Structure 1
Amino acid sequence: MFALLVLGLSACNPTLRNHGYIPTEDKPQAVDPSTDTKASVLARLGNPSVKSTFDENTWYYLTSVRQRLAYLRPITEARSITAISFNQDGQVQKVAEYGIENGQYVNYSDRETPTRGRELSVLEQIFGTIGRIPIDQLGGNQNIPGGSGGPGGGR
Structure 2
Amino acid sequence: MKRALLLAVAAGSVFAAGCTPVLRNHGFIYVDGEVPEIVPGEDNQASVLERLGSPSTQGVFESTTWYYMSDTRQSLAYQRPQTSYRRIMEIQFDDAGTVTAVNEYGIGDGRRVTLVDRETPTPGREMSVWEQLFGNIGNLPSEQFGGEQNLPGGAGGPRRDE
State whether TM-score is above 0.5: yes
- Structure 1: gaps (5+ residues): 141-145, 149-155
Aligned counterpart, 1:81: 88
Corresponding residue of 1:52? 59
Change (3 A) 1:51 1:120: farther
Question: Do structure 1's residue 24 and structure 2's residue 36 form an aligned pair?
Answer: no
1:131 aligns with: 139
Using the alignment, how far apart are the partners of 1:69 and 1:125 within structure 2? Answer: 48
Q: CA deviation at 1:121?
A: 4.8
Give unpaired runs (5+ residues) of structure 2. Answer: 1-6, 158-162
1:117 to 107, 119, 124: 124
Q: Counterparts of 2:33 and 2:42 in 1: how far apart (Å)? A: 15
Which residue is equivalent to 2:21? 14
CA displacement at 1:22 relative to structure 2: 0.7
The alignment-based identity, stated in percent, is 41
SS of the residue 1:62 aligns to = strand
1:71-110 alignment runs, 5 A limit: 71-110=78-117
Residue 39 of structure 1 corresponds to: 46
How does the TM-score come out when normalised to structure 2?
Answer: 0.72
**1:31 Cα deviation after fit:** 1.5
TM-score (normalised: structure 1): 0.75
Pairwise CA RMSD of aligned residues? Answer: 2.9
* 1:132-147 to 2 correspondences below 5 Å: 135=143, 139=149
Partner SS for 1:13:
coil
Shift of 1:83: 0.5
Matched pairs, number: 142
Looking at structure 2, the residues matched to 11 and 86 of structure 1 have their Cα atoms a distance apart, in angstroms, of 47
| 1:131 shift after superposition | 3.3
Alpha carbons 2:36, 2:51 under 8 Å: kept: no
Q: Comparing 37-46 with 90-99, which one deviates more in the overlay?
A: 37-46
